[in-house]
Amino acid sequence: MRNLDQRVLYIIPSFIVFLMALMVTFRHPWPVGWDIFYHIHLAKVYMLKGMTFFDPVYNAPQGNIINYPPVFHMTLLLLAYLFRINMFDVARLVQPFLACLVALSTTVVASRFYEDKITGLAAGLILFSGAIAMRLVSPLPENLALIFLPLSIYFYYDFFKGDKLLSSFISGVLMGLVALIHPAATFCLGFAITFITAGITITELYFKRDVSIIKKALKGYLVLIMSAGLIAALWWVPAFYFKSTGGPGGVSTSLQTSRNLSIMKYPDLLGYTVIILSLIGLIPSLKRSGLRDRFILLWVISMFILSKAYYLGINVITYRVLIYIMIPMSILAAHGLRYTAEMIKIKNKNIAGFLMIAVLVFAVFQGFNNLSGTEVVDYGAMSSHGRIKIAPPTPSEVELAEWFSHQDKRGTVSMSNYFAAGFIMAYTNRPMNPLLYESPEIPQRNELVKNGIVFLVFDKRLKVNGNFTFDTSSNFLFYNPSRVDISQLEYSYLEKVYENSDFVVYRVV
């Protein structure tokens, strides 16, 4: 009976997180975030073309390489087929399940690291106390990968703990699965594993003067990398092959730009609860400096270094790396809370229990607070003319998508708003070309014909004042309303065929 009660502790955080994410799902009619529209589009590409490395719809007529492995997109397809619902609703359906499974994974790993289910429960609840956790509600390949990432690191720890090559193999299998889901998660996991391997080897040599650790670490690391590589090769080998041929397929292996974030903003995103409790957890961890303590600390440090990799010339989106820091920091914070309660328990057991409950209730309150506001679904993109809202879709975007759904399927569309184009592409599966938002002026007819463009779509919301008629910035084409009336363009080869409150469509004639 006691074992059953302890197992229930695993379920509590994931159940609470499930309710949080379910609240978001019921409140909003569209999946959370903008990225999911691109992934829905890719799922449709796989549905129509089968297993392919080339996307003929995006950047038509040249097409575009597919930058993501197919596991997440195949999952969307399978669920859409099983439940007989569209992929937008499938994406909404998986939101609470992805979030609660990430919480469950963190709970299990924390309890196994510290051999204490209370610590695991605390870690699962603290994980969603930071504002960055809002991203965990989005139905993304990254969040699917985050279910397996902590487990991979735990099994690698289990290898060092008991010298079990099977654990290293399992860690590698999980890493290979991550590699078939999300490239950035794979890189973060690989970097963390490599950094931890080096850190454990160096500290073992320093503390124990045991040179056999070098052989042990290399053996475990090679087993992990080989098992991960064999599984990852199912998709990555053909992807790299197509890339090497110079053909219209393959995979992009790096970010084009970096998106930096000041370290002063980390506390607001990670949450002061996590940071304070992590600092408390750091005290006993440094005192003991045991294997698990070094593992957790090296995990946190590796992700912090990665978040600042742009100093080394490596392009990185710092905001997204913070979620990878949040997981080990939540585990360390849970340990800090447990340690504090144990210290107080020596003096007064009741106060210790009250502190644990109060902090965890506060963490849950923070989680609900983070997910109850409109910020959780309010996504925007920065440009030289300020922030532009990109998700959720507006009624006028839906109207535009519906209009295109009833038009002749032939012909490519070019829009002045890249993000609105992404939604229209996912909704209608119409070919899109970037010419309009990449050109600081209306393209000539010969350019349009050359690219097979039949429709030009202007976003009337992108109006700004300045010493220009048109201005491109961050995948938007802005216009100056004092110089041009976007609803009444006078070009002999453009015929206005549709207009709503936010968009105007011209047909190339």
pLDDT at 491: 95
Average pLDDT, the chain: 94
More confident residue, 238 or 225: 225
pLDDT at 9: 82
For residues 324-362, one letter each, b for 16 or more C-beta atoms within 10 angstroms of the residue's C-beta and e for the rest, the string is bbbbbbbbbbbbbbbbbbeebeeeeeeebeebbeebbee
* Interval 314-334 mean pLDDT: 94
Q: Which helix (H) or strand (E) holds 454?
A: strand 453-459
pLDDT at 243: 75
- The pLDDT tens digits of the residues spanning 16-51 come to 999 999 999 999 999 999 999 999 999 999 999 998
Q: 241 pLDDT band (50/70/90 cuts)?
A: confident
- The pLDDT tens digits of the residues spanning 354-372 come to 999 999 999 999 999 999 8
Residue whose entry in the numeric block shows the structure tokens 């206005």:
496
- Asked if residues 476 and 437 have their Cβ atoms less than 8 Å apart, the reply is yes
pLDDT at 8: 82
Q: 314 pLDDT band (50/70/90 cuts)?
A: confident
Give a three-class secondary structure readout of 194-217: HHHHHHHHHHHHHHHCCCHHHHHH
User: Cβ contacts of residue 81 below 8 Å, gap of 6+?
Assistant: none
Bridge partner residues of 414 (DSSP) = 433, 456
Chain centroid, CA 117 distance in Å: 28
- The pLDDT tens digits of the residues spanning 463-484 come to 999 999 999 999 999 999 999 9
Bridge partner residues of 499 (DSSP) = 504
The answer to whether residue 324 scores a pLDDT higher than 70 is yes
The crossing angle, in degrees rounded to 10, of helices 87-114 and 141-162 is 20
Going by C-alpha positions, the residue among 455, 135, 172, 173 that lies closest to residue 319 is 135
- The pLDDT tens digits of the residues spanning 375-386 come to 899 999 999 999
pLDDT at 242: 79
pLDDT at 189: 98
pLDDT at 1: 43
31 SS3 class: coil
The answer to whether residue 252 scores a pLDDT higher than 70 is no
Q: What are the start-end ranges of the E strands in 62-184?
A: 64-65
Q: 178 pLDDT band (50/70/90 cuts)?
A: very high
